[in-house]
Structure 1
């Protein structure tokens, strides 16, 4: 992967901790709000049709700015971009907590999404280049994987606790002190670095095209569920978003200093890892969203109890990502771990498709969630290692932003598609005379099977695109960069 980032007097693991806590805070915020939406609606007096914008106002700038923020990290320094993003995110969170009406909360959530995108875009790039030793690289990426997945699993629990025992404002207030500490510690612990300079890639038109295109695409996707896929808005804005993104790609092919060097995609590993992540995250959102709905609306759990129900999956992901993934990747290689993890994820969704109306958490949800945690804990670090291992340190920021963008778009598209099928199936069963719980469960079962199909497709694509490497010799330090890459697999920059 190249030379590690410059060191400071602080332990590099302190830097990893700061980066991963920042990532977890941002991921938590994306999930913690969902549980508190009813309380937010009561507290501020949100109308039913505008309540969704508490979520969308964050998601749209977050998904739209990741590529630009990642590239800025390469140009002006990832440390500067990360700390700026954390500071903006924390300040906007504080303002969200003090919001007293719809307009102010939506506006502050937009700013919070901007800060989240700026901060998170560079995190994976810094984590992946912190160490040159393969096992430490794998451990660092495992910690990042846990921060991303564990934050998503813990979000509903923390949201339920804060909302039930304090009030909805604290889902935002909690970010302010954490962000302040991260900035103070990060200033001393994160290595200083010189970016390539804005003159090396200040493609302002390209930045405008990709940011506008991505924001419009995310907006079209997240609002399609409200206005309909066949609405004039969706049919007009969707093609416009695609046109802007195509224009960005065309410009990158001809401009002297591209924002996103297209040569990156000549790396089969980077391209395949992003495609696999897109499909896998599209399916994984099915567990977080429809699993929560099943536990609450069918099994009858409260929001707090439902949040507690996701603790085991977070524990399993933490145990595997932090305790075993690096050693397993070092011993067996990234591809076997990626494929093994995805097989387990598919099995988990199939298990969930057998959930019962009169079921129990211990039988119908817990075993599948534990298998899911094991699968994701194995697959995510291997997937990220395969993708980032093919990128030079100078391009780590844009590659990190690309990974985050793929994740956001995959999640948004996956959830929207699954929701459409769930709604259609539930309505069909209701019209056929099924009870409300049975109709809901029928929709959720279909979502779990479709999610399994997404991950199975990712497995097939990964097997076809990711080359198999020979196992490292016993005298060679194996791991993320143990085997020299095929010359055809190295990006032309």
Structure 2
């Protein structure tokens, strides 16, 4: 529970934090939460009793949940240009809080008051559902799965989750914490599934090796920490590969990362004694961490590219919620697998349980790789080259003149004071076919022709 208490509250309050970051001032949320988690962590260091320690860990989880979506919202706002945004989001995954001073001082932010209503009903349903789900997983891994204290919260969690999605369909879209259309953004659903994987890998790798090295091999904590230094070096280095997303489709980078993870898992299967550390374990750590970080970094970048900037807080909350869910499932699933195998294959000191856990992870990664290969769409339905559409932002922001007010030398939609629109009609017809736009709508380029809005025009205008 020392670990699970933080995970429980962190995952449960992410959506509330994300929504607050979208409708209020994310700077205030970030500063208060960062100060809060620091103070709570200091206080926790002076505790010696178990229950207060767990309670403070849970409070730290709430503060931690408030920092992530607000930080992502600030970054997306500070770095709107896609190339910079990809690089920064990638670096954020590797260094988290580095550069907080820049966030405080340079962000151009909204007023502190709420500008939209909060979906208190939906957020409450999802928060309680998350709490019950993680509680059930934690209790199940420590006790018998077929018991009232495990099955009852698990079933209630599923019922509340269904109720959450029904609620989101019923209430107005502008109030909904997670509007139903969110799941239909290009590649959003498959990227959500991909987000379950990175923390699942990191948690499994860390937990299995720490227990094995300290409890079975009797290595000291210092030796264990030194042998994990390559993990930190690799993950931080890979987090800086964000610019690759502008040259290579994230689909292929993510699949390559998953292939590396499968190789690493297989290496771990055969790392069954201390003499194989340098020949099997170290290569597995380097290759697996590189793969997991590639998946994390480029799934993170891709999910922000496929969603509107105004939803950055909510999207960040959903993505990080999936990461935490993967971590929670990892702890409980791996514990259950190892325990069940060890009962019949040599006990705690046997490597059979660990090998079974690594084979389980091979299956999980392979299944996700098949899902990405099948469902991740690489052909952008909204990405247009500057040669196809050239529309001046000022012109597109002006009111559209009716057809009979057109003047020679001006393109459709340009006022006398605005710069003329430059429209390649054949290219627009091709674009209409790609986007499935009905006549009377024309795309307006907002950022490098990758984020489009529909600008209403009179029905006679194409």
For the aligned pair, the TM-score class normalised by the smaller chain equals 0.7 to 0.9
- Which stretches in structure 2 are left out of the alignment for 5+ residues? 388-430, 437-449, 455-462
Q: How many residues align?
A: 393
**1:124 correspondence with 2:72:** yes
Deviations 1:150-188 (A, max 9, x none): xxxxxxxxxxxxxxxxxxxxxxxxxxxx99x95xx3674
Summarize the alignment of residues 354-369 of structure 1 with structure 2, pairs less than 5 Å apart. 354-369=270-285
Residue 122 (structure 1) shift: 2.8
Q: By how many angstroms is 1:266 displaced? A: 0.6
Q: Cα RMSD over matched residues?
A: 3.0
2:219 aligned residue (293, 301, 308): 301
Asked if 1:466 corresponds to 2:414, the answer is no
- Of residues 302, 310, 320, the one that matches 2:238 is 320
Relative to the length of structure 1, the TM-score reads: 0.73
- Is the alpha carbon distance of 1:355 and 1:232 closer, same or farther for their aligned partners in structure 2, counting shifts above 3 Å? same
- Cα distance in 1, alignment partners of residues 178 and 314 from structure 2: 7
One of 91, 97, 104 as aligned partner of 2:52: 104
Q: Matched residue of 2:247: which SS? A: helix
The correspondence of residues 334-349 of structure 1 with structure 2, limited to 5 A, is: 334-349=250-265
Whole-Å separation in 2 of the counterparts to 1:300 and 1:264: 49
Partner of 1:17: none
Q: Residue in 2 aligned with 1:255?
A: 171
Measured after TM superposition, the shift of residue 189 of structure 1 is 2.3
Which residue number corresponds to residue 191 of structure 1? 107
* 1:492 CA displacement: 11
1:416 aligns with 2:332: yes
Runs of 4+ in 1 over 6 A off after TM superposition: 472-476, 488-493
Asked if 1:350 is matched to 2:266, the reply is yes
Contact 1:86/1:116, CA 8 A, preserved across alignment:
yes
Q: Secondary structure at the match of 1:467?
A: coil
| Contact map agreement 1:74 1:195 (CA 8 A) in 2 | no
Partner of 1:64: 12
Taking the TM superposition and a 5 Å limit, the aligned residue runs for 1:362-441 are 362-430=278-346, 437=349, 439=350, 441=351
Shift of 1:142: 1.6
TM-score by length of 2: 0.78
Q: Match for residue 332 of structure 1?
A: 248
Secondary structure at 1:200's aligned position in 2? coil
Partner Cα distance (2:113, 2:370) in 1: 40
Matching of residue 268 in structure 1 with residue 186 in structure 2: yes
Aligned partner of residue 85 in structure 1, secondary structure? helix
Moved more, 202-211 or 85-94: 202-211
The alpha-carbon distance between structure 1 residues 237 and 490, as it changes in their structure 2 partners (threshold 3 A), is farther
Note the alpha carbon deviations across 1:239-258, whole angstroms, 9 max, x for none. Answer: 11111121111111111221
For residue 197 of structure 1, report the CA deviation from its aligned partner.
5.9
Consecutive unaligned residues of structure 1, counting only runs of 5 or more, are 1-52, 149-177, 477-483
2:234·2:290 contact (CA, 8 Å) conserved in 1? yes
Deviation at residue 297 of structure 1 after TM alignment: 3.4
Give the counterpart of 1:287 among 181, 186, 205. 205
- In structure 1, the partner of 2:162 is 246
Compare 203-212 and 122-131 and name the one that shifted more.
Answer: 122-131
Cα shift readout 1:364-408 (whole Å, capped 9, x = no counterpart): 310111111221232222111111111111111000000111111
* Inter-partner Cα distance in structure 2 for 1:452 and 1:378: 17
Q: Write out per-residue CA displacement over residues 210-268 of structure 1, whole angstroms, 9 at most, x where no aligned residue.
A: 11111121121122212321111111110111111211111111112212112110113
Q: Is the 8 A contact 2:94 2:235 kept in 1?
A: yes
Displacement of 1:452 = 1.6
The answer on whether the counterparts of 1:350 and 1:448 sit within 8 Å (CA) in structure 2 is yes
Residue matched to 1:75? 23
Larger Rg: 2
1:411 is paired with a residue of what secondary structure?
helix
